[in-house]
Chains A and B, each alone.
Chain A
Amino acid sequence: MRISRVLFAALLIVVALVVQVSVLARLGLPGAVPDLLLLVVVGLALTYGPTSGCMIGFAAGLCADLAPPADHAAGRYAFVLCLTGYVAGLFVSRSPRRSVLAPIAVVAFAAAATTVLYAAVGALVGDGAVRQVGLTKLLLTAVVYDAILAPFVVPWVMALARKVDPKPMLSGLSR
């Protein structure tokens, strides 16, 4: 992985995380919070492929686990976003000219998957909060918000990512 790619991803992750907790979460929208961090991870994974995707996802998740408002066990988001980054990376786009719908579909799927997976990991380590709170409303709102935000974020992230490191690792796929 090139150094420019690492720096670029790190910068995007930090910016996305801070904007998410200090701006988006404070909007007070009903239900879930638009997950900017997830959009960045998906965008980068769609450009750089599964290996980079899972590394970027892991780093982003770890930041989200440790940065201030977080109070859950460290590693929970890292686990979830690592897996999400890998799977999103499998849908790596071959040509720069591609419909914007595919990334949105990936984002919507990823939003649902991360919410459920996060709850599942919590249940596995004995966090019973999910049963108290209920999952459906959070799941629906998370998918809707992320899908709405995706066309404004993911194409930008992908374009920037290509500019920073123009060679997507397509050979990472054994298809």
Chain B
Amino acid sequence: MRDSRHGRLVLVLLLAISFALITVDIRGGRNSPIANVRDWASAVFGPAERGVSAAVDPVGRAVNAVKDAGSHEGEKKRLQDENAKLRQQVDNIEFDRNRAAELDRLLKVSSAGQYKIKPARVIAVGPAQGFSWTVTIDAGAGDGIRPDMTVINGDGLVGRVTHVGPMTATVLLASDPGFAVGSRLAGSMEIGITSGRGDKPMNLKLLNGQANVKKGDRLVTFGSQGGKPFVAGVPVGEVAEVRNTPGELTRSVEVKSYVHFSRLDTVGVVIEPPRTDPRDAVLPPLAQEVAAPPSAPAAPPAPPAPPASTEPPKGTTAAKPPAGGTRSNNANAADPGADGRRKPSSGGTTPPTGRD
């Protein structure tokens, strides 16, 4: 130990061990022997992270309150203290109200999509210089969380569960470069694969190179077999930019996610997928449609909202407008009863194509 040659030996040995670990873990995939060790680690670190994040929240609020209140210099200290205390209380109220509102929206989404969700809070965030976008949530195996469940919040798709500890679970965010989700354009029903790119907007690769796609088109998840890892119909994002790359088989489209990954707090894990695909019923209403009076019967040639133009004679595609029954989809012939079954609010959009 006191000899430099010895030191170098230790170094080389440890480097070799870590490289061996990397290969074993990658080769093993889901069944890698490291998974057991991870279970232990999350059993130990999970509660610690829960405790620290719970302890830190009020401190952060107090710091903010004091920061806000500290500008009146020369005033009596007592008043300042009182002011700070009151501000902190107000802050707490606001914080709680925010959280309540978030939960409320989460509930709305889950009832619109008929998902059964388990709410949870983000308690730890992976470092960005690790080139992976992951968070820990404070719900684990004890709450019924299993790997490969979809995670949503009031805005849309957050990610999927990768690893579950006894009290905590790890979520791979949709912004992670290794994340990919099959999704479809709510309007034209075109299918593509959306993948994360870190802080940059997500990337959509449409399978149909000729697909007509434009800015503002909206994306929902396509759904996987048995709802794992993705349940169908979760809002993913909006098309922000279409880039034409001549010569490539697929087209690259930039997608702005509905979820703000830097300020995640309350999320919901979909414990039970919906019995029927909610299609795009969960998408937020378009701004124009909200403004439009509900009495205007949406005649196919003159829809109030842009996204209809992708395939010629179609009604409005996205959720809210009235009189959803005007659809005659090309694929609809396969199941004419589909529109009748669907809730009127869903706009009767989609042909009942199967899930992925």
- Chains A and B are bound partners: yes
A interface residues (Cβ-Cβ under 8 A, vs B) = 1, 14, 17-23, 25-26, 28, 31-33, 35, 49-51, 54-55, 58, 61-63, 65-79, 82-83, 86, 89, 114-115, 118-119, 121-122, 125-130, 132-134, 138, 142, 169, 171-174
- CB–CB B1/A18 < 8 A: no
> Is B334 interfacial (CB-CB < 8 Å)?
no
Query: Given A50-B11, A169-B2 in contact, is the A22-B38 Cβ separation under 8 Å?
Result: no
In angstroms, Cα B25 to Cα A126, docked, is 13
B interface residues (Cβ-Cβ under 8 A, vs A) = 1-7, 10-11, 14-15, 17-23, 25-26, 34, 37-38, 40-42, 45-46, 48-49, 52-53, 56, 122-132, 134-136, 162-163, 165, 168, 170, 172, 176-178, 197-200, 262-263
- CB–CB B10/A69 < 8 A: no
Please tell me which one of the listed residues A74, A121, A142 contacts residue B37 in the complex, with CB atoms under 8 A apart.
A74
- CB–CB B15/A79 < 8 A: yes
In the bound complex, residues from chain A placing their C-beta under 8 Å from that of B10 are 51, 54-55
- CB–CB A68/B177 < 8 A: no
- CB–CB B25/A172 < 8 A: no
In angstroms, Cα B177 to Cα A61, docked, is 22
- CB–CB B135/A69 < 8 A: yes
- CB–CB A169/B1 < 8 A: yes
Query: Given A18-B52, A61-B18 in contact, is the A115-B38 Cβ separation under 8 Å?
Result: no
In the bound complex, residues from chain A placing their C-beta under 8 Å from that of B49 are 18, 21-22, 67-68
- CB–CB B41/A172 < 8 A: no
In the bound complex, residues from chain A placing their C-beta under 8 Å from that of B123 are 22
- CB–CB A172/B7 < 8 A: yes
| 27 A-B contact pairs sorted by A residue (CB < 8 Å) | A21-B124, A23-B52, A23-B56, A26-B53, A31-B128, A33-B128, A33-B129, A62-B18, A65-B21, A67-B49, A68-B170, A70-B130, A70-B134, A74-B21, A74-B37, A75-B19, A76-B18, A78-B17, A78-B18, A79-B22, A118-B130, A125-B22, A125-B26, A127-B131, A129-B177, A169-B1, A172-B1
- CB–CB A171/B53 < 8 A: no
Cβ-closest chain B residue relative to A17: B45
In the bound complex, residues from chain B placing their C-beta under 8 Å from that of A63 are 41, 45
Cβ-closest chain B residue relative to A57: B14
